[in-house]
A and B are shown apart, each in its own frame.
Chain A
Amino acid sequence: DAKTTQPTSMDCAEGRAANLPCNHSTISGNEYVYWYRQIHSQGPQYIIHGLKNNETNEMASLIITEDRKSSTLILPHATLRDTAVYYCIVRVRGNNNAGNMLTFGGGTRLMVKP
């Protein structure tokens, strides 16, 4: 799986958009970009994923650059409950190899402030 680079920490004001960047310059053509987050003392939670096109769901938007070497997760109106560590992971989707697992990097610690 391609390596990702994320800032260690970010702050965001409550109600504003939180934009979390991720660099994945060695991503392969068949690798997807996944975002998970981990609220303190909980298991990781899936947010969104994409391959080439920008994606949006009820939680967030994912913007992937045209060369796919970087992406940005956008939380449009951050709340205090969005304070968490956000992980960007790139891997092949639907790989049926039962041994494949998610590899977590350091992630970005997002602090949403009142």
Chain B
Amino acid sequence: GAVVSQHPSRVICKSGTSVKIECRSLDFQATTMFWYRQFPKQSLMLMATSNEGSKATYEQGVEKDKFLINHASLTLSTLTVTSAHPEDSSFYICSARAPNTGYGYTFGSGTRLTVV
């Protein structure tokens, strides 16, 4: 149980376009989801906390107008990278608190974004 599904697994887009990444909790409801970004050979860095029915909370240095987060239902959070640039190329991972599991958090499989 407590599975998070993330799509797409990889995407290539042109500079200036927008890309949407979906994160779904398949067998539980997630009022809060977390979005991380990971550059090559680096650790995961939290970008924002997504709250169902309210505005996301962004970490310092993360542009909220560039990384749009929508958490419209208890099972879906989306991250949209707007006006993508090559420096936005990264591995994006979502996470949710896994209820009744004892281990706290479950993660999506990640999305490899390449901006060309």
Residues of chain A whose beta carbon lies under 8 Å from any beta carbon of chain B:
34, 38, 41-46, 49, 87, 91, 93, 98-99, 101-107
- In the complex, the answer to whether B95 meets A101 with C-beta atoms within 8 Å is yes
Those of B90-112 within 8 Å (CB) of chain A: 91, 93, 95, 97, 102-110, 112
Residues of chain A within 8 A of B108, CB atoms compared? 43
- In the complex, the answer to whether B34 meets A46 with C-beta atoms within 8 Å is no
B82 interfacial by beta-carbon distance below 8 Å: no
Residues of chain B within 8 A of A43, CB atoms compared? 4, 6, 93, 95, 107-110
Interface of B is mostly: strand
**In the complex, how many residues of chain B place their beta carbon closer than 8 angstroms to a beta carbon of chain A?**
27
- In the complex, the answer to whether A41 meets B104 with C-beta atoms within 8 Å is no
Residues of chain B whose beta carbon lies under 8 Å from any beta carbon of chain A:
4, 6, 31-32, 34, 36, 43-46, 49, 51, 57, 91, 93, 95, 97, 102-110, 112
Report the minimum CB–CB distance from B80 to chain A (whole Å).
Answer: 19
Known: A34-B103, A93-B102, A101-B49. 14 other contacts (CB 8 A): A41-B91, A43-B4, A43-B95, A44-B44, A49-B102, A49-B104, A99-B49, A101-B95, A101-B105, A102-B34, A102-B95, A103-B46, A104-B43, A106-B43
